[in-house]
Structure 1
């Protein structure tokens, strides 16, 4: 064979090899990951997979992690830089209906699992504890039921857990505190019962509103939570006294405990350099809190919103409320407060919005927006205070 013929042969051989290689891409994704993805899709009702959705493009005739994704696996998964492992599953809100397969545990490099705003049902498999790299677990707005599996507390890398708007029931695991890296916990709008266990130490946000949690709030549950900023526990059945330690959690900014069964508030003035200095908003409305309106709320230097509406408070509105320059929203309506409101609250220069209505106040003119709605009748106020100690007849 001449040199010219040899070089032509070599050229065509290499050309055919290149064409063959581009049309038959070698599979890269780990077989265990492919098996898990197949099981994941098989656990979802085919009738709930629209033709335009991410899951509809999961066609296993093509390797899931091969790039570019032109026709298959166009969305829903992300792979590692070397295209061998699946690192994220983030589904579109397409109305997928099915269960979460226990074989999800094979995706051991998964860092994000987001199935939010679909129609997944059944329990969360305990095998999820094998996802040691999982940082974000979002199952919000589905129909998951059963108790929150204790195995979920073995996810040592988890930073965000959102299973709100589902049908979870039963108690919270006693081992919640072992989620040592968790920053955000949202289990709102479920059917969770019992009391709060000891909480994860690095929490920034705690949201458990609209459940059936009960009992007093214990210091042991919040002990060591120096970074906690937001607490949303409204629409539960927490009871007893809300003690001063709660308001003095060092970084706490927002408290929402509305619509519970709290009966008292014991609050201490924040100290310089101590806890309570960051508190911005407090909502304790629609509880059963008795006694006097706590004057020490006015001592929190950044407090801008305070609501204690529709409780059982009595006595005078603390004059300190009118002296707090940061306070911009004040809701005390629906109690049995009497006497005259601090003049500073009624001046136009105060800039305070809210309501002092539906109390037993004197000198709170209906022309002032802050005094609406109108005060309780004399008959009701006399029943509360006895004799003539309520709001006198005009």
Structure 2
């Protein structure tokens, strides 16, 4: 029997043994001793397998552990003759509850793929991984890894490198300039420092580059213009000085372009009109000025455009067809001439103050306040009102149709949810999250049953409020990350709360 404390040791030891096997022919399989070892691993990790030998049926064992989203795959290759046994070439242990570090023994194996996505793994990447010259895919996203990444620059055939959502710090090591075979690189949600390095010009084979919320300082280097094969470019939250729009003129293969909160002080470049494959354009929260260029309407493939939180001026186009988020800009239209509930356009707080103030951009004005209020209370995401003593928390059941704002007409507050989808999230239009945990709350459970999310930003406005001092109370409960021993228990919740006054 394997005890809890010995699980990781046994698991690592098994892999060290298993990967030393060499394949001989398609009919070969693992020796009985290794089959027994797999059975013990099966029992420890809860695998539900009828055939425990990965080399005797299709060269793969694959199981959904406790749900269809949890994956444990071990792949083998029996096509190269060296010994009497097959050879394990890839492991995929994604969305589980594994802890510990990456075993150094893996450095002696001829792996082509390591995928450890969404676990509780930590520690530094062992230097022995540099010995795996056959490695093409290394996916370590959504763990707690940290330390020096220079070892990865010694992997000559690496094509896919995913490092999103870990604790990596420091500047991107110079050795990364050696990764000239890269096709996908994801660095988002880390704590890097310094600038995006100029040596990115050597990654000419890149098709996907994601540097969102990574800690880097801008501006985006001009050398990015060398990456002509990019189909998906996402950069966000760059610190540092203001800059001009990066030279992306020749990246006509782009299908997704996200440059969000990159401190770009410029106008929208005309060359974007040549991007005929562009489906998503997100330039939100920069300092883009001028009018909305008409050529954007000619992008036949476009699905979503986000220009939220800029300083765009001029007239809002009346004949716009593509879904577009224009909230928080500075247009000169009179609010009465534009409908804020257009099915394809979010115009929340998007007009100059000479026309309206803050949330009153939907045909309302201060003079139209029927009366003044001294409070408002919201059951965020809740589909029903909740009474607590003398306070009524009003329902917030707007389902979140993209590019529209919601207003509770019977009271004095409104909500703006910006962004149309969560990109890689399969529940891309589900802006209401329902409780999946066992809440240890005796009273007022109905206030914590549901919550609202938003792809870009979520704003609650109180208007028609009388002048005075106000106390703001925010109540939170974790309803998504569950308590247990699955990957659904792993994660970190980070968000910012701003309270602003609009006069």
> Which TM-score applies when normalising by structure 1?
0.65
The offset of 1:319, in angstroms, is 4.3
What is the rounded CA distance, in whole Å, between the counterparts of 1:143 and 1:293 in structure 2? 42
Q: Deviations over 1:324-367 (max 9, x none)?
A: 455443211211122235x4xx315xx32111221111127531
Structure 2 contact 325–346 (Cα < 8 Å) conserved: yes
1:185 alignment counterpart:
161
Structure 1: gaps spanning 5 or more residues: 1-27, 55-69, 97-106, 383-394
2:139 alignment counterpart:
162
Q: Helix, strand or coil for the counterpart of 1:112?
A: strand
Pairing 1:205–2:205 present? no
1:117 alignment counterpart:
95
Structure 2: gaps spanning 5 or more residues: 1-27, 71-84, 358-503
The offset of 1:115, in angstroms, is 2.1
Q: CA 1:195–1:116 in structure 2 vs 1: closer, same or farther (change >3 Å)? A: same
Q: CA 1:142–1:292 in structure 2 vs 1: closer, same or farther (change >3 Å)? A: same
What is the rounded CA distance, in whole Å, between the counterparts of 1:267 and 1:347 in structure 2? 29
Q: Deviations over 1:184-225 (max 9, x none)?
A: 2222222222233325222222222222223222231x2332
Q: Helix, strand or coil for the counterpart of 1:296?
A: helix
1:245 alignment counterpart:
223
> Which TM-score applies when normalising by structure 2?
0.52
Structure 2 contact 93–115 (Cα < 8 Å) conserved: yes
Q: CA 1:327–1:179 in structure 2 vs 1: closer, same or farther (change >3 Å)? A: same
Pairing 1:360–2:330 present? yes
What is the rounded CA distance, in whole Å, between the counterparts of 1:216 and 1:36 in structure 2? 49
- What aligned pairs does 1:53-68 form with structure 2 within 5 A after superposition? 53-54=48-49
1:144 alignment counterpart:
121
The offset of 1:37, in angstroms, is 7.4
Q: CA 1:352–1:142 in structure 2 vs 1: closer, same or farther (change >3 Å)? A: same
Q: Helix, strand or coil for the counterpart of 1:111?
A: strand
The offset of 1:249, in angstroms, is 0.8
- What aligned pairs does 1:67-146 form with structure 2 within 5 A after superposition? 74-75=51-52, 77-79=53-55, 92-94=64-66, 109-132=87-110, 134-146=111-123
Q: CA 1:118–1:323 in structure 2 vs 1: closer, same or farther (change >3 Å)? A: closer
What is the rounded CA distance, in whole Å, between the counterparts of 2:55 and 2:167 in structure 1? 36
Residue correspondences, number: 305
Q: CA 1:117–1:326 in structure 2 vs 1: closer, same or farther (change >3 Å)? A: closer
- Alpha-carbon RMSD: 3.7
1:298 alignment counterpart:
273
Structure 2 contact 224–247 (Cα < 8 Å) conserved: no
Larger CA deviation: 141-150 vs 241-250: 241-250
In our comparison, the structure showing a higher alpha carbon Rg is 1
Q: CA 1:153–1:93 in structure 2 vs 1: closer, same or farther (change >3 Å)? A: farther
Q: CA 1:296–1:144 in structure 2 vs 1: closer, same or farther (change >3 Å)? A: same
What is the rounded CA distance, in whole Å, between the counterparts of 1:244 and 1:326 in structure 2? 27
2:345 alignment counterpart:
370
Q: CA 1:375–1:277 in structure 2 vs 1: closer, same or farther (change >3 Å)? A: closer
Q: CA 1:152–1:224 in structure 2 vs 1: closer, same or farther (change >3 Å)? A: same
Q: Helix, strand or coil for the counterpart of 1:338?
A: coil
Structure 1 contact 182–203 (Cα < 8 Å) conserved: yes
Q: Deviations over 1:141-183 (max 9, x none)?
A: 21110122232232111122222121111232x2433322222
The offset of 1:289, in angstroms, is 2.8
- What aligned pairs does 1:292-331 form with structure 2 within 5 A after superposition? 292-331=267-306
What is the rounded CA distance, in whole Å, between the counterparts of 1:122 and 1:303 in structure 2? 42
1:281 alignment counterpart:
256
1:223 alignment counterpart:
201
> Which structure shows the higher helix fraction?
1
Residue from 214, 232, 237 that aligns with 1:236 = 214
Residue from 149, 158, 171 that aligns with 1:195 = 171
Q: CA 1:92–1:305 in structure 2 vs 1: closer, same or farther (change >3 Å)? A: closer
Structure 2 contact 42–48 (Cα < 8 Å) conserved: no
Residue from 320, 333, 337 that aligns with 2:308 = 333
Q: Helix, strand or coil for the counterpart of 2:345?
A: helix
The offset of 1:124, in angstroms, is 0.7
